[in-house]
Amino acid sequence: MEFRIADTFTDALARLPAADQKAVKTSAFDLQTNPEHPGLQMHRIEQSKDRNFWSVRVSRDIRIIVHKTEASMLLAYVDHHDKAYQWAERRRIEAHPRTGAIQIVEVRERVEEIALPLFQAAQKPAGPPPPFAALSDDDLMSAGVPQDWLADVRAASEDGFLDLAPRLPAEAAESLLQFATTGELKKPAPAPADPFAHPDALRRFRVVENVEELRQALDYPWDKWMVFLHPSQRDLVQRNFSGPARAAGSAGTGKTVVALHRAVRLAQSSPDARVLLTTFSDPLAAALEQKVRVLAGPDAGVIPRIRVASLNTIAAELHELAFGQRSHVARDELVARALEMAGELVEPKPNANFVRSEWANVVDAWQVGSVEDYLAVPRLGRKMRLGSKQRERLWPVFAAARRTIEDRGFFTWPRVFSSVADFFAKRSEKPFTHIVVDEAQDLGVPELRFLAAISGAGENALFFAGDLGQRIFQQPFSWSALGIDIRGRSTTLKVNYRTSHQIRRAADRLLPASLRDVDGVQDNRKGTVSVFNGPEPSVVVAPSEVAEIEAVVAFVKAAVEEGIDPGEIGLFVRTPDLLSRARAVVKVAGFECVELTDRGHKTDGRIAIGTMHLAKGLEFKVVAVVACDDDALPLRARVEAAADEVELEDVYETERQLLYVAATRARDRLMISATAPGSEYLQDFAPADP
């Protein structure tokens, strides 16, 4: 007898408290080793039209729903007694008559017995035509829609479909979302003899051969962000590119999923493959490495071919390999002091803000080594033009600052990256055959030159995943000027699986519908859709800090009372000195907190608090972005330190994008709070006019 587990089971398991999860796993192991064990107390679900549904007693109130036939046992669902039975009574498991894929189908008439479906009640007599009205029965059946849901799909409005989608088999909902965003309907794969062998079924049902495989499946729940691939994502994973390529898309569209799968696919492509999967921080790299191991599964030969590390870590390792010495990197304070002292050497003294900006974005970024190089270096994106005499007058400042840093035995990170790039640029043998970069929007000039130098020159050598709307660290610059030309090889993902429709819609108001990089490559964000609904985000501008804290406490308590674990809640602020407001919320609410760091974190049932920069790459069911005051967003210190008009514009843009990053960490619930008058950006969260 084959033993299977469905994604509906692991999703339901993840919603139970830890103690109940442990008991469920024990019962699941017993089921696999001895399905006839009398202690399991199996009972047929008599009210279900599918006579193969049975309940398994876990505890006094918890029941596992299994689908049992002579050939197989399937873990289908788990919940408290009444809810578990209701789930089974409203479901059937069958092979779709057109696609041949096994499906878990919600019974249409059982839904009617409970309440009038929202997707019908919400229909309006006027407005645009329903998005699927023109599709025939054959079209909808080809997409995997069950026959008894055809009329509902065809009648659903765009908003109504978001209520309908969770009731459909997942592959049908995904296919229809693809049609809504691209106008293309997925062609069905040939129906296999075994309905569980259909590609759609393989994404929903997993065969587990032994207790160890079952333990892994339960310990690493069915993470759709990591395992599931939408057709547009799968195309990016499988496609071969003759040059550098990029996956773009707004927050939550699965760019990291593509990066993970692509890294594993490239490692599997050849026993000689050497793949680097990298990103901008150590915590994100650690999370990627864990997911790579789960994704690779039992194929142990793949893991040694994939190196997962942050950009700084891999640069430091290669620097030591190339030059036989560790790279001691100067702190920002040392660099700022060196520039300040060097500025005292010239008359008239240059503007300190301009000197720091010119050093970071031109001199250090491009590793300008002489006055002649400085006269020739491109100053892309710099508003203040500098003639040759002005550059000659400024050069001694930068040269002196560099000597001060190096005489103390330190490097800057751009120096580390550039040294390694120069070393490997001269060698035909490269450290990696393929490089996959996540969060690529924050790459700077040194990092991009470094990646180009250490990667192979063959097919699929460089792949980037990133969102221009989440750029919060680097000034824009031309990638093509550095030989990395992605024009014609950039694809924007449009289906959001992580963030509710309401949160995505509100956060998207912070950014333009279309973003264009320096090279003219456009990310058109218009048309992005989410796959599930949730409550509207709330924006609170309180008269005082005390009132703001009370409002956020009420928001947090309400979430916990409705079953959200405190470890799935995140509170973010703009700067470290504002963390006291987040700590106060947690204390007044009566919970414990853990502070995020640049070395990662484990919540362990505690509310996570941290700055907005540390939110990047994370995900929580509930998020509150606290202390969004008028002097915090945009941050007054950054505004005052801007060297020219272009840099000031970039400050406003990246501060807005930083709020977007923090807000889109929320999956289900979002609150933005401030003390009056609040950030100017908050007005963008107001609902659009009907």
253 pLDDT exceeds 90? Answer: no
Nearest C-alpha neighbor of 67 from the set 97, 104, 34, 96: 104
More confident residue, 364 or 251: 364
User: What is the structure's pLDDT at 601?
Assistant: 60
Residues 458, 460, 465, 469, CA torsion sign: positive
Q: In whole angstroms, what is the distance from residue 374 CA to residue 359 CA?
A: 11
- Do residues 537 and 503 touch, judged by C-beta distance below 8 A? yes
294 pLDDT exceeds 80? Answer: no
Question: 491 pairs with which residues across the strands?
Answer: 247
> Confidence class of residue 121 from pLDDT cuts 50, 70 and 90?
very low
Q: What is the pLDDT of residues 319-343, one digit of tens each?
A: 999 999 888 999 989 999 999 999 8
User: Under DSSP, is residue 431 helix (H, G, I), strand (E, B) or coil?
Assistant: coil
Q: What is the pLDDT of residues 175-215, one digit of tens each?
A: 888 788 778 887 777 778 888 888 888 778 887 776 666 76
Question: 434 pairs with which residues across the strands?
Answer: 275
466 pLDDT exceeds 90? Answer: no
Q: Which single residue is written with the structure tokens 């927050």?
A: 251
Backbone φ/ψ region at 297: left (φ over 0), alpha (ψ -120 to 50), beta: left
User: What is the structure's pLDDT at 547?
Assistant: 97
Q: In whole angstroms, what is the distance from residue 592 CA to residue 607 CA?
A: 6
| Average pLDDT, integer, range 54-69 | 94
Question: 611 pairs with which residues across the strands?
Answer: 573
Question: 432 pairs with which residues across the strands?
Answer: 455
User: What is the structure's pLDDT at 298?
Assistant: 61
User: What is the structure's pLDDT at 53?
Assistant: 96
- Do residues 144 and 169 touch, judged by C-beta distance below 8 A? yes
Q: Determine the Cα angle at 110 with ends 108 and 112, to 5°.
A: 75
237 pLDDT exceeds 70? Answer: yes
By DSSP bridging, strand 43-44 and strand 245-249 are: unpaired
Q: In whole angstroms, what is the distance from residue 25 CA to residue 218 CA?
A: 7
User: Under DSSP, is residue 240 helix (H, G, I), strand (E, B) or coil?
Assistant: coil
CA distances to 4, 69, 304, 306, 447 from 272, rounded to whole Å, are: 35, 45, 11, 11, 25
User: What is the structure's pLDDT at 444?
Assistant: 87
Quick one: which H or E segment has residue 495? strand 495-496
Q: What is the pLDDT of residues 590-617, one digit of tens each?
A: 999 999 876 556 667 899 999 998 888 7
CA distances to 579, 605, 623 from 608, rounded to whole Å, are: 11, 9, 10
114 pLDDT exceeds 60? Answer: no
Q: In whole angstroms, what is the distance from residue 405 CA to residue 334 CA?
A: 7
Q: In whole angstroms, what is the distance from residue 149 CA to residue 169 CA?
A: 10
Q: What is the pLDDT of residues 404-462, one digit of tens each?
A: 999 999 999 999 999 999 999 989 999 999 999 998 888 888 999 999 999 988 899 99
- Do residues 366 and 351 touch, judged by C-beta distance below 8 A? no
Give me the count of residues in the chain. 690
Q: How far apart are the first and last CA of the chain?
A: 56
Question: What values do phi and psi take at 485, rounded to 5?
Answer: -105, 110
Quick one: which H or E segment has residue 181? helix 170-182
Nearest C-alpha neighbor of 8 from the set 100, 75, 59, 56: 75
Q: Which two tokens stand for residue 654?
A: 């990246």
User: What is the structure's pLDDT at 222?
Assistant: 41
Lowest mean pLDDT of 32-36, 238-242, 584-588, 675-679, name the range: 32-36
Backbone φ/ψ region at 617: left (φ over 0), alpha (ψ -120 to 50), beta: left
User: What is the structure's pLDDT at 106?
Assistant: 92
527 pLDDT exceeds 80? Answer: no
6 pLDDT exceeds 80? Answer: yes
159 pLDDT exceeds 60? Answer: yes
- Do residues 621 and 661 touch, judged by C-beta distance below 8 A? no
In 10 A of CB 520, how many CB atoms? Answer: 9
Nearest C-alpha neighbor of 146 from the set 119, 89, 106: 106
Q: In whole angstroms, what is the distance from residue 212 CA to residue 208 CA?
A: 9
| Average pLDDT, integer, range 209-235 | 62
Q: In whole angstroms, what is the distance from residue 504 CA to residue 665 CA?
A: 10
User: What is the structure's pLDDT at 118?
Assistant: 46
User: Under DSSP, is residue 188 helix (H, G, I), strand (E, B) or coil?
Assistant: coil
Lowest mean pLDDT of 39-53, 114-128, 244-258, 461-475, name the range: 114-128
Question: What values do phi and psi take at 335, rounded to 5?
Answer: -65, -45
CA distances to 47, 392, 613 from 91, rounded to whole Å, are: 11, 77, 44
Question: What values do phi and psi take at 664, rounded to 5?
Answer: -85, 10
Q: Which two tokens stand for residue 617?
A: 């790459």
Range with top average pLDDT, 305-314, 378-387, 465-474, 490-499: 305-314
> Confidence class of residue 216 from pLDDT cuts 50, 70 and 90?
low
Q: In whole angstroms, what is the distance from residue 276 CA to residue 254 CA?
A: 19
User: What is the structure's pLDDT at 441?
Assistant: 84
> Confidence class of residue 397 from pLDDT cuts 50, 70 and 90?
very high
The full 3-state SS of 210-238, as one line of letters, equals CHHHHHHHHHCCCCCCCCCCCHHHHHHHH
At 403, the amino acid letter reads R
User: What is the structure's pLDDT at 614?
Assistant: 87
Q: In whole angstroms, what is the distance from residue 264 CA to residue 249 CA?
A: 21
Q: Which two tokens stand for residue 599?
A: 């070395």
> Confidence class of residue 123 from pLDDT cuts 50, 70 and 90?
very low
Q: What is the pLDDT of residues 614-655, one digit of tens each?
A: 888 788 999 999 999 999 999 998 888 877 777 788 788 889
Q: Which two tokens stand for residue 197?
A: 């062998």
At 66, the amino acid letter reads V
More confident residue, 495 or 682: 682
User: What is the structure's pLDDT at 690?
Assistant: 41
- Do residues 310 and 387 touch, judged by C-beta distance below 8 A? no
Q: In whole angstroms, what is the distance from residue 584 CA to residue 374 CA?
A: 50
For the chain, the 3-state helix, strand and coil shares in percent, each to the nearest 5, are: 45, 15, 35
Q: In whole angstroms, what is the distance from residue 567 CA to residue 570 CA?
A: 8
What ranges make up the beta strands (E) of 552-641?
569-573, 593-595, 607-611, 620-625
Average pLDDT, the chain: 85
Task: Calculate what percentage of the chain has a pLDDT beyond 70.
Answer: 87
Backbone φ/ψ region at 325: left (φ over 0), alpha (ψ -120 to 50), beta: beta
CA distances to 20, 200, 233, 241, 280 from 229, rounded to whole Å, are: 30, 10, 6, 19, 24
> Confidence class of residue 130 from pLDDT cuts 50, 70 and 90?
confident
Range with top average pLDDT, 33-37, 70-74, 594-598, 639-643: 70-74
Torsion of CA 247, 250, 256, 262, to 10 degrees: -20
- Do residues 569 and 621 touch, judged by C-beta distance below 8 A? yes
- Residues 6 or more apart from 331 whose CB is under 8 A from it? none
